[in-house]
Amino acid sequence: MKRLFGMTGEEASALAAATAAHLDIVVEALVVAIVIGVPLGILATRSKAAERVVLGLANVFQTIPSLALLGFLLIVFHGQIGKPPARAALVIYALLPIIKNTILGLRSIDRGVTEAAVGMGMTAWQRLMIVELPLAVPIVLGGVRVATVSAVGMATIAAAIGAKGLGSYIFRGVSLSDVRMILLGSIPAALLALACDAALGEVERALDPKQPKHSRIRGSLASIAVCILLGFAAWGWWNDLPQRGGRATIVIGSKDGSEMIVLGHMLADLVEAHTPLKVDRQKFNLGGTLVCYNALKRGGLDVYVEYTGTALTTILKEPPQNDPKAVLERVREGCARDGIDCLDPFGFENTFALLMRREQVEQLGIRKISDLRAHVATIRGGFGPEFMNRPDGFPGLVQAYGLHFEQSPREMDRNLLYQAIAQKSIDLGAGDSTDGRIAVFDLVQLEDDRRYFPPYEAVPLVSAATLRRHPTLRAALNRLAGKIDAATMRRLNHEVDGKHRDPAAVAREFLRDHTLLNVKTTP
């Protein structure tokens, strides 16, 4: 608990900014959802056919899993990451309760009231605006209240596609196996949902003439709470605006995992130390390969680290090759067609590693991947979604080694595999050969005796347009070329995964030890 409070103190300003960004995206989405949902609810009360269509579509959207919806919206937004697709997802999920409560509110109005309005000669529009909607507001606000609580929770998942907010702490904590980081994101998100629910509940009660009134003090406190929440949202909106003046800024992102975050901080420190540029580090710990690459193509990122074998098979859709130089040249040619430069490798290779518990390896006498053939009836596998579907992943592995497991492998988040193996939930998983958690959980990497996996050299991918705008950037990023071997990267990962050190501090310490920084940097 002390460590959690200590981290909270260290992250106080960043946590406040993340909370503001979280509220900003929720408020923006709710405003759009109200503008769309209330008219649709009004339309549904005027026509049974319209009601069936509107509610049917809203119900269908509500049943789509959140990650699937975010993936679909990335396609719709042509690979753009960050707030736009995340906001669109929140709008879609917020529509159903707002539409339903609008219908319920309008239909709950006493018939005598509407007949009186007709008797006074009001037009349909006047009845709606002067009589019906004001009376329906408390019930409509109940739908907004439900949508708000749902949106606060949904916004945490949007961090997977680069949306700012509290979800970034949760995803970073999962990637780094750091419970404190997970709690640092989840506790404020839960408190935020409760605060929004309580504040809107008081507003709903105050606007409902049928409800008994609370004291003025309670009403004043509710008003203050709403103002504070809106103030935080406004601060988040302001922080998200492009900064005018000052140093030019580039965006460095990273895929998920401690290694990618450490390398991202290294590149950011080098850029800030050796160029006049500032670095936006808010896009670390994004989803998979294609999320980052498409963001790089569309301008959402300027730089991120990729592996050559992954770029060859997953991005360029080409068959695996075993020659590192040939793979690097092929990746450079393919990325150049997308307006992306592949810079020089860092010096280490992070290949896929098939991992098992040490005690099980010793008991079964397994040393190589081909040894698994004698145990396919009992071995329980578990692999990440990307590994299960990429051509240099599970399908090719099964074919190359003749492995036909009797139990279908589990598909699970890659960052959970190491602990799952150690806890005996699964027996075999595919991790990263330089991951520090291999040592933390005392796992054994099986030898790839048929050399199935292609070379996976770590390289920076950079937007060619960004390099043209900032000519000093290439030299700064290439300062890491050939400076990190596999043993060093494994040690750095262990500092983060095993000792739970801050990735930014680990990256900065490495750069200073190797005299790669000439000024003090502050991320």
**CATH superfamily, region 249-349+456-513:** Periplasmic binding protein-like II (3.40.190.10)
221's tokens: 């406190």
Q: What share of the chain is helix, strand, coil (3-state, %, to 5)?
A: 65, 10, 25
Reply yes or no on whether the pLDDT at 485 is more than 60.
yes
pLDDT, position 518: 65
Give span(s): CATH 3.40.190.120, the chain: 352-445
Report CA-CA distances (Å) from 236 to 18, 327, 341. 8, 43, 33
pTM, to two decimals: 0.75
Give me the residues paired with residue 461 across strands.
Answer: 304, 342
Per the DSSP assignment, residues forming a β-bridge with 383 are: 411
Query: Over the chain, what is the mean pLDDT?
Result: 87
Over residues 71-96, the pLDDT tens digits come to 788 778 877 777 888 899 999 999 99
Q: Which residue has the tokens 């695996």?
A: 320
Who wins on pLDDT, 288 or 377?
377
Residue 296 to residues 71, 257, 270, 290, 506, Cα–Cα distance (Å): 16, 19, 20, 10, 26
Confidence of residue 1 (pLDDT cuts 50, 70, 90): low
Q: How far apart are CA 155 and CA 211, in angstroms?
A: 32
| Between 53 and 173, residue with greater pLDDT | 53
Residue 36 pLDDT > 90: yes
CATH superfamily of 352-445: Osmoprotection protein (prox); domain 2 (3.40.190.120)
Residues contacting residue 184 through CB under 8 Å, at least 6 positions apart: 4, 7, 8, 11, 15, 169, 173
pLDDT at 520: 46
Of residues 207 and 105, more confidence is placed in: 105
Strands (E) in 26-153, as ranges, are: none
Question: What contacts 518, CB < 8 A, 6 or more positions away?
Answer: 273, 274
- What distance in Å separates the CA atoms of residue 270 and residue 292, rounded to the nearest whole number? 21
Question: 245: pLDDT confidence band, cut at 50, 70 and 90?
Answer: low
All CATH 1.10.3720.10 domain ranges of the chain, comma separated, are 2-240
pLDDT at site 47: 87
The band of 522, judged by pLDDT with boundaries at 50, 70 and 90, is very low
CA–CA dist 252, 324 (Å, integer): 25
Q: Which token pair is 500?
A: 């739970």
39-76 residue pLDDT tens: 999 999 888 898 899 999 999 988 888 878 887 887 78
List where CATH 3.40.190.10 sits in the chain: 249-349+456-513
Q: How far apart are the C-alpha atoms of 296 and 273, rounded to whole Å? A: 23
In the chain, count H helices and then E strands: 24, 10
The distance in angstroms from the start CA to the end CA of the chain is 26
pLDDT of residue 258: 86
Residues 6+ away with beta carbon under 8 Å from 82: 161, 162, 163, 164, 283, 300
pLDDT band at 308 (very low <50, low <70, confident <90, very high): very high
Task: Tell which residue, 458, 79, 85, 86, has the closest CA to residue 293.
Answer: 79
The CATH topology of domain 2-240 is MetI-like fold (1.10.3720)
Q: Which amino acid is at 29?
A: A
The better pLDDT of the pair 486, 214 is held by 486
pLDDT (tens digit per residue) in 389-438: 877 888 889 988 998 888 889 988 877 899 899 999 999 999 888 988 88
Question: What is the pLDDT at residue 385?
Answer: 85
In this structure, of 62-66, 202-206, 352-356, 381-385, the range with the lowest mean pLDDT score is 202-206
